[in-house]
Amino acid sequence: MNQMVRGLHKVCHRGVSLLTPSSLSPPIFLCLKLGRVPGHLRTHSIKTTTAMTASRLHHLVPIHSVSSKNDGTNGSLSSSNAVATEDEDNLEGRYRLPPPEIREIVDAPPLPALSFSPQRDKILFLKRRALPPLEELARPEEKLAGLRIDGKCNTRSRMSFYTGIGIHQLFPDGKLGQEIEIQGFPDGAKLNFVTWSQDGKHLAFSIRIDAEDSSSSKLRVWVADVDTGKARPLFQSPDIYLNAIFDNFVWVNNSTLLVCTIPLLRGDPPKKPLVPLGPKMQSNEKRDIIQVRTFQDLLKDEYDEDLFDYYATTQLVLVSLDGTVKEIGPPAVYTSLDPSPDEKYILISSIHRPYSFIVPCGRFPRQVGVWTTDGIFVRELCDLPLAEDIPIAFNSVRKGMRSINWRSDKPSTLYWAETQDGGDAKVEVTPRDIIYTQQAEPVQGEGPEILHKLDLRYGGISWCDDSLALVYESWYKTRRTRTWVISPGSKDVAPRILFDRSSEDVYSDPGSPMMRRTSTGTYVIAKIKKENDEGTYILLNGNGATPEGNIPFLDLFDINTGSKERIWESDKEKYYETTVALMSDQTEGDLYLNQLKILTSKESKTENTQYYIQSWPDKKSCQITDFPHPYPQLASLQKELIKYQRKDGVQLSATLYLPPGYDPSKDGPLPCLFWSYPGEFKSKDAAGQVRGSPNEFPRIGSTSVLLWLARGFAILGGPTTPIIGEGDEEANDRFVEQLVACAEAAVEEVVRRGVAHPSKIAVGGHSYGAFMTANLLAHAPHLFCCGIARSGAYNRTLTPFGFQNEDRTLWEATSTYVEMSPFMSANKLKKPILLVHGEEDNNSGTLTMQSDRFFNALKGHGALCRLVILPFESHGYAARESIMHVLWETDRWLQKYCVSNTADRSTDLKVSKDDESKGAPHLQNKTVAASGGGGTEADFEHDGCHLAPRSSLCYCVD
């Protein structure tokens, strides 16, 4: 079962459904459902994603987030035109614009995001703007404890926002009523954290207005009447501002909100002393073993600690719609607020000192307590110590209580997990995790009850009722995942395993249970009844991965017998359809199959995503949206899912995109851009499985490689680039060898098809894809004419305590760290490479100095290279000026070193073979791997490689 989906059930029982047709929507928020937004999701703003996705995650975004002159190029594919107008002596010092055909797509106005009311009778259209200007990113920010804070607004920095809200009535026939626009807030207001009340009668949201006066820029909480569209400030006092560093506000009931506010008596921020009190010191005289990855933006000294406290400290306030205000508890650094389903209690988390200079705030000491909704402290659940020593091995966790949540099927029952291995995944113990449950106010002397014991790592629970809940566990090293069926209210009913499978095996994924909304606004597994049938059925919603691509489905599943009936499936020929949410659960009582209503999406290669309501028993479909094509100039682009094999027989796949109107028999081969992202697997079979669908609408983000379809390029999107380590073998020990083999197979396929000119194939990637790009140019120069590497890490010795999916340290796998690093092969990189990096990169492992040092190493060996550092940008790029300049740089590079390339690929191939005969790096890696594993070179030549394309992982764990 999909890990991301099932992990949400333990925390997202109060989510809000938000859908968007935009290609810029971050996929990580699929877990948001219809209702309240869980605390940890309310705190984050939208992040722009730069990669293409084959998943349906792009339809859901967090509800709370969200004309220039020509530069001299004429937009022609001809390199002679582009190069002739290029001023080679004036390539520095100012931002540039890409050709009009690219610029027009990026500047197109974004479509609105959607949010359904809890009762499913209304839809919000949340209006958005295009790319922000660079001046917004240039605002001062504090980098504290792993966070970036806008002190002027007292929020996380660089939050996106909505510019307006429109409300439409949704009628039973699928038609939308006339728009009611929310009115009453000031012009230029920026809206965030939009949240429905449980009865659907009110909206709460924050407003900020940029102004020179710092107090005017802080966020205020507003409410709006859904029927009239009239909005007003929630607080009568103009001096109460929202503190949105962590959580922000939550509906306690239909007339009351709990709000995180800036303490009224806070004063001015602490001033940094001109002279420090003493040196910065850290000590390990107790010889503790503490291994941490390369976290960024950490606290550095006592002044930073004081500054973090200043911005993060919150005063909790209960406020009613009538203006009544009551403070709750003392000021503290509160991180999450979660009301119980019966609205009697609030689960409140906070962090406190002692802080750390080596880990971010998520590992600071954490206190969790239960309060009543009228502000009375009930009890403390835990006070966890500072967690600097969590092992770097995957599946390692913090000691003590974790994943503390309310049961979504009970009024006020808590549940949580506790590790039995000290949090260390390398410790062998059974059970490994125990799940406990307890009432918010237990009877005196009554301790927690054991709900279930697990031998793998706990991964969440989907609740239904006392007779049914699904418990998930998994183990990364073996990719094993299991789903248990338990009866929470019947101790005499033994738990049983429902599914036991490999998380890599997408073909066997049975799907995830669809959830229904309860009267308290939580979400539980939807039980379905059939007429004259006493069976217990649930709905399993799956991606339906097949060798021909994803064919999403909806199964009626008998939880007792395991039998299933497919009641809905996506069109296989032209369209790609998915189930989004259950729409027939507004009332209490049984849900019958013949009364089922499901919200679905539908799209094709050429048609933008639209939303429909499917009704049973006749499966009538009502379309409820009619979004225009976001880039009509590419409406007739060609898209094909292609499959091919590596030389060792491992099945690979990619999506081939061709420009509108292109005919290979008439137009001949094109320049081609290969864009990918490596992934690790434990199984060759799973590595070869097809992911994604050929019928998905091609979404083009602001830095998408598909923009170059408008410039006449063929695009090979997401060619699978798997790195396999079967059994006890670690995948990265043969990283370069497998990487090159995958690239060879992909290049041979597009050349064989006649769509790509063999001497005009460029390679590129973002983050780990940039790492891939540099390695391929160093170790497979015969395949590519040039490369584009954005925000990468090139020297793995600078991330000595693990990176990406590698959890061995530099000292445990020295040769792997060295041989994987393209920095160590800078003397062998002979093809032109464009390096781009954000100056304020906040991603773990991809510090900006990675590109600085790699560029200097390349320059020191005379390589043809260029480094572009983007001021104020982090791991993903946000400002219009930055994005347009990156597109200009990329287009210039491709025109000059790909389109204009006249080198004979056969010469590159001969040089490559000569290098191999002298002991080229990828053959040296084979020898190292063989000697380390006790085999021969021939043995390792036939170990496969594969890749599962990652879904929009712009923000990777590196």
Q: Are 235 and 221 in contact (CB under 8 A)?
A: yes
Q: What residue type is assigned to position 544 of the chain?
A: G
Closest CA to 264 of 336, 195, 228, 313: 313
**What local confidence, expressed as pLDDT, does residue 915 receive?**
55
Q: Are 15 and 37 in contact (CB under 8 A)?
A: yes
Q: Secondary structure of 75-106 in the HEC alphabet? A: CCCCHHHHHHCCCCCCCCCCCCCCCHHHHHHH
Exactly one of 462, 767, 882, 952 is catalytic; name it: 767
Cα–Cα distance, 10 to 415 (Å, whole number): 9
Gyration radius (Cα) of the chain, Å: 28
Q: Are 253 and 240 in contact (CB under 8 A)?
A: no
Question: Would strands 527-530 and 597-604 be described as parallel, antiparallel, or unpaired?
Answer: unpaired
Q: Are 58 and 712 in contact (CB under 8 A)?
A: no
Contacts 24+ apart (CB under 8 A), 93-97: 95/134, 95/881, 95/882, 95/884, 95/885, 96/71, 96/884, 96/885, 96/888, 96/889, 97/68, 97/69, 97/70, 97/71, 97/884, 97/885, 97/888
For the beta carbon of residue 759, count every other beta carbon within 10 angstroms: 19
Q: Are 224 and 230 in contact (CB under 8 A)?
A: yes
Check residue 460 and give left, alpha or beta (phi > 0: left; psi -120 to 50: alpha): left
Which domains can be identified in the chain, with CATH numbers? Answer: 632-899 (3.40.50.1820)
841 carries an active-site annotation: yes
**What local confidence, expressed as pLDDT, does residue 913 receive?**
56
Enumerate residue ranges in the chain where pLDDT < 50: 1-17, 20-86, 89, 918-958
Q: What residue type is assigned to position 801 of the chain?
A: F
Q: Crossing angle, helix 735-752 and helix 921-933, to 10 degrees?
A: 130
Which helix (DSSP H) or strand (DSSP E) does residue 829 occupy? none
555 carries an active-site annotation: no
Cα–Cα distance, 596 to 619 (Å, whole number): 9
268 carries an active-site annotation: no
**What local confidence, expressed as pLDDT, does residue 635 receive?**
94
Cα–Cα distance, 78 to 452 (Å, whole number): 66
Cα–Cα distance, 645 to 631 (Å, whole number): 34
**What local confidence, expressed as pLDDT, does residue 39 receive?**
35
**What local confidence, expressed as pLDDT, does residue 50 receive?**
34
Which helix (DSSP H) or strand (DSSP E) does residue 857 occupy? helix 849-859
C-alpha distances out from residue 735 to 18, 789, 822, Å: 39, 18, 12
Q: What residues pair up with 220 in beta bridges, in sequence order? A: 207
DSSP per-residue codes, 403-438: EEEE-TTSSSEEEEEEESSTT-TTS--SSSEEEEEE
Which helix (DSSP H) or strand (DSSP E) does residue 729 occupy? none
Q: Give tens-digit pLDDT for 569-624.
A: 999 899 999 999 999 887 788 899 999 999 999 999 999 999 999 999 998 999 99
Exactly one of 389, 841, 891, 908 is catalytic; name it: 841
**What local confidence, expressed as pLDDT, does residue 9 receive?**
35
**What local confidence, expressed as pLDDT, does residue 952 receive?**
29
- Largest interatomic CA distance in the chain: 84
Q: Give tens-digit pLDDT for 142-158.
A: 999 999 999 999 999 99
